[in-house]
Chain A
Amino acid sequence: MELDRDMLLYLYKTMTTIRHFEERGIPETGQRGMSGSVHSSAGQEAVPTGICAHLTNDDYIGSTHRGHGHCIAKGVDPKLMMAELFGRATGPNKGKGGSMHIADMSKGMLGTNGVVAASVPLAVGAGLTSKLQNLGRVAVAFFGDGGANQGILHECMNLASVWKLPVIFCCENNGYAESTPVEYALSTARVADRAAGYDMPGIHIDGMDVFDVFEAAGEAVRRARAGEGPSLLECRTYRYYGHTVFDNPLSYRTQEEQDYWRGRDPLKLFRERVADGGLVSIEELDRLDDEARELMEDAISFADESPLPEPLEIYDDVYVDYPVDMMRRGINLEV
């Protein structure tokens, strides 16, 4: 597959931005006492990057608890994301949501989500809107190998197939749901096998190879936009760290396995693949790494200098229209 120079640079830039966000933003969030709910997607960068490269701000994605990469690939500003992780009023969610709920409707980002597979029907709903209003938009539902076993996903795949909705079900199979290995929890050899039950294509992809992801996603997006219905993409990938910062992954997986996957690092694979293509130089990629590194420093300063929410904001946005008095009445809260 031939990709032009701009696209190559774009793919690498997105991946290195995600990587730097995870490597830098997560420990900084921890230092500010907010590590309880942050999940690193380091190692998985190729998946959201290769998929979202086909989307515009008008298209939608639904994301997971491990969603920083989805946000960045969909165009959410890492500075604002950092502010959200630090609980600042300048975050896209005004500090109300944190890592597990980052949403930016201006970018078609329907939210990272704290309940496994819960964002899948939101993406299906976005697909329905697109179909009913003839908008030509597509929606991608991201979920993990653990999420593959939630009932809601299966109902959604059936519904989207029956209604021929412009949806892409994208499973990021990183081999584990917390500490549970996929081979224990999954009845089929592959998540992609399940597509047959819903009469849609099921494609198994090397999720460490952004070119592989890009190519398969291109066809799924084309199909969706052409009104041919949903697809299921299973991207085999790996998370480098524990489920959260608290767990030691060596309690349930081996060093050899970790080394194997680190050896297939998506950024490294990219560099190897483009090195002899001549379209972009290694120096250019190094420069993109440096820019991503600097961007994180800026994001951290921006977040630290941003205001915290005001106490009264606790009542904002529970509803569009509801008397605030009814939310605080009779509970003896000074605020």
Chain B
Amino acid sequence: MTTAMTPTTSRELRYREAINEAIRQEMERDETVIIMGEEIAGGAGREHLGIVDAWGGPFRTTVGLIQQFGNQRVLDTPLSEAAFVGTAIGAASTGMRAVAELMFVDFVGVCMDQLLNNAAKMRYMFGGQVKVPFTMLTRIGAGFGSAAQHSESFYSIFSHIPGLKGVVPSDPYTAKGLLIAAIRDDDPVVYFEHKGLYGDLGPVPEEPYAIPLGKARTVRSGTDITLVGISRMTWVCTEAAEELAKNGVNAEVVDLLSVSPIDYDLIIDSVRRTHRLVVVDEDTPVCSLASDICARVAEEAFDYLDAPPSRVTAPHTPVPYSRPLENIYVPNAARVVGTVERLVGR
């Protein structure tokens, strides 16, 4: 069942709870669904001491799963990403529907070969003989004083790889719906959780629902400019839009939701009405999603544009540790407002 892009329910969950509910419901629905990763339960192998689910996941997104589904479907792993990500891909190719969690996207280098050369290419190389219903959960986002190896938002490198899909849920509703869709999908999907959103509360229907992969949504209608947000940057865009409204600039905000496939149609349709575009992306700028979206809009909506398609992104640097530098690094509403004012003033 697919659903509209906005919820109709009064029940509220946090982002992390919505993720948990999605995994739980998919594991209930389909017993071939398994999940593995580091600390997803925690304290592994200590049932005899009464220790079960010691952590429930590094960010508590997988809490309670091991009690319900047991340690053959909820698998804590040794600290061996290349092995368990690859194993999940192998299991997914041979009858399981496998979910693996990579604690932070920065660690992807350790297991990238399995994603790049197996998950992404097997179906194509094998002439369509296999499906790889594999989901990799991982985390993105700077702003937490965690420095260069724990703060990246590297979704663009996955978008770049043919054969992989990717989603960037921005609130509890999309967190649940996109995760259910990712698990049910027969292609490998990378699911990017943003560390800054876990505590956010929002309406989430109780019954299972899937939000279609590859679709963006409009979270604010406007007429003067289109702001495209990716993950948490969606809310930086809406904050900027409210600020801009005070000066009579009416911004439309698009929440990208999928980083592969990318919903160019919805964005282009919006730009045809607003005639301006700013993409706000927490990732670095060179060969980024922001660049790609601007390029596509320039190609397909050139005649509608009143200003150059523009970007607000992180600088082309690693993430700095020191607080004042990290504050500069992460795009904020003030930067978006400043950029929009220059474009609208033209």
- B125 interface residue (CB < 8 Å to A): no
List residues of chain A with CB within 8 A of the CB of B315: 314-315, 327-328, 331, 333
Please encode chain A, from 125 to 152, with 1 for each CB lying within 8 Å of some chain B CB and 0 for all others: 0000000000000000000001101111
Please encode chain B, from 38 to 49, with 1 for each CB lying within 8 Å of some chain A CB and 0 for all others: 110011111001
A150 touches B79 (CB 8 A): yes
- A259 interface residue (CB < 8 Å to B): no
The interface centre, meaning the residue of A96, A146, A147 with most chain B CB atoms within 10 A of its CB, is A96
Contact of A309 among B51, B83, B325, B338 (CB under 8 A): B325
- A181 interface residue (CB < 8 Å to B): yes
Q: Enumerate A122-181 residues with CB–CB distance to B below 8 Å.
A: 146-147, 149-152, 177-181
A114 touches B49 (CB 8 A): no
A98 touches B147 (CB 8 A): yes
- B296 interface residue (CB < 8 Å to A): no
- A186 interface residue (CB < 8 Å to B): yes
A180 touches B79 (CB 8 A): yes
Contact of A34 among B49, B145, B318, B325 (CB under 8 A): B145
B328 touches A335 (CB 8 A): yes
- B121 interface residue (CB < 8 Å to A): no
- A10 interface residue (CB < 8 Å to B): no
A185 touches B55 (CB 8 A): no
B329 touches A314 (CB 8 A): yes
Q: Which residue of chain A has the shortest Cβ distance to B343 in the bound complex?
A: A332
- A97 interface residue (CB < 8 Å to B): yes
Once bound together, how far apart are the Cα atoms of A88 and B323, in whole Å?
9
Q: Which residue of chain A has the shortest Cβ distance to B79 in the bound complex?
A: A146
User: With contacts A151-B80, A185-B78 known, is A37 near B42, CB below 8 A?
Assistant: no
A185 touches B79 (CB 8 A): yes
In the assembled complex, the CB of A240 is this many whole angstroms from the nearest CB of chain B, namely: 18
A87 touches B321 (CB 8 A): yes
Contact of B150 among A88, A114, A181 (CB under 8 A): A114
Please encode chain B, from 301 to 339, with 1 for each CB lying within 8 Å of some chain A CB and 0 for all others: 000000000111111111011111100110000010011
Q: Which residue of chain A has the shortest Cβ distance to B50 in the bound complex?
A: A254
A334 touches B150 (CB 8 A): no
Once bound together, how far apart are the Cα atoms of A159 and B325, in whole Å?
39
State which of B9-17, B105-113, B156-164, B247-255 sits at the interface with chain A: B105-113
B79 touches A116 (CB 8 A): yes
List residues of chain B with CB within 8 A of the CB of A179: 39, 42-44, 54-55
In the assembled complex, the CB of B262 is this many whole angstroms from the nearest CB of chain A, namely: 20
- B124 interface residue (CB < 8 Å to A): no
Once bound together, how far apart are the Cα atoms of A113 and B106, in whole Å?
12
Please encode chain A, from 279 to 315, with 1 for each CB lying within 8 Å of some chain B CB and 0 for all others: 0000000000000000000000000000011010111
B55 touches A252 (CB 8 A): yes
- B344 interface residue (CB < 8 Å to A): no
Contact of B45 among A149, A184, A309 (CB under 8 A): A184
B328 touches A180 (CB 8 A): no
A36 touches B144 (CB 8 A): yes
Q: Enumerate B132-154 residues with CB–CB distance to A below 8 Å.
A: 144-150
In the assembled complex, the CB of A334 is this many whole angstroms from the nearest CB of chain B, namely: 7
In the assembled complex, the CB of A13 is this many whole angstroms from the nearest CB of chain B, namely: 29
Once bound together, how far apart are the Cα atoms of A258 and B216, in whole Å?
51
How many contacts between A and B, using CB within 8 angstroms? 180
User: With contacts A180-B43, A252-B42 known, is A331 near B149, CB below 8 A?
Assistant: no
List residues of chain B with CB within 8 A of the CB of A196: none
Once bound together, how far apart are the Cα atoms of A332 and B316, in whole Å?
12
A311 touches B328 (CB 8 A): yes
B149 touches A101 (CB 8 A): yes
B325 touches A252 (CB 8 A): no
A97 touches B148 (CB 8 A): yes
User: With contacts A37-B146, A113-B149 known, is A96 near B322, CB below 8 A?
Assistant: yes
Contact of A36 among B78, B145, B310 (CB under 8 A): B145
- A206 interface residue (CB < 8 Å to B): no
In the assembled complex, the CB of A329 is this many whole angstroms from the nearest CB of chain B, namely: 8
- A320 interface residue (CB < 8 Å to B): no
- A278 interface residue (CB < 8 Å to B): no
A180 touches B312 (CB 8 A): no
Q: Enumerate A230-286 residues with CB–CB distance to B below 8 Å.
A: 247, 251-254
Once bound together, how far apart are the Cα atoms of A36 and B149, in whole Å?
12
- B82 interface residue (CB < 8 Å to A): yes
B45 touches A95 (CB 8 A): no
- B26 interface residue (CB < 8 Å to A): no
B338 touches A334 (CB 8 A): yes
User: With contacts A180-B38, A252-B51, A332-B312 known, is A185 near B44, CB below 8 A?
Assistant: yes
List residues of chain A with CB within 8 A of the CB of B147: 37, 96-98, 100-101, 114
Once bound together, how far apart are the Cα atoms of A101 and B54, in whole Å?
29
User: With contacts A115-B106, A115-B109, A185-B78 known, is A101 near B322, CB below 8 A?
Assistant: no
- A197 interface residue (CB < 8 Å to B): no
In the assembled complex, the CB of B100 is this many whole angstroms from the nearest CB of chain A, namely: 16
User: With contacts A114-B106, A114-B147, A318-B316 known, is A178 near B324, CB below 8 A?
Assistant: no
Contact of B145 among A33, A96, A253, A331 (CB under 8 A): A33
Please encode chain B, from 52 to 83, with 1 for each CB lying within 8 Å of some chain A CB and 0 for all others: 00110010000000000000000011111011
Q: Lowest 10 CB-CB distances: which A-B pairs, in order?
A: A114-B149, A252-B43, A87-B322, A184-B45, A98-B321, A95-B322, A146-B79, A185-B78, A252-B54, A179-B42
- By a beta-carbon cutoff of 8 Å, the part of chain B in contact with chain A is 38-39, 42-46, 49, 51, 54-55, 58, 76-80, 82-83, 106-107, 109-110, 144-150, 285, 310-318, 320-325, 328-329, 335, 338-339, 342
20 A–B contacts from the bound complex (CB under 8 Å): A37-B145, A37-B150, A97-B147, A97-B148, A101-B147, A115-B110, A146-B78, A149-B79, A150-B80, A181-B44, A252-B42, A252-B43, A308-B322, A309-B324, A314-B328, A327-B316, A331-B312, A331-B313, A332-B335, A332-B338
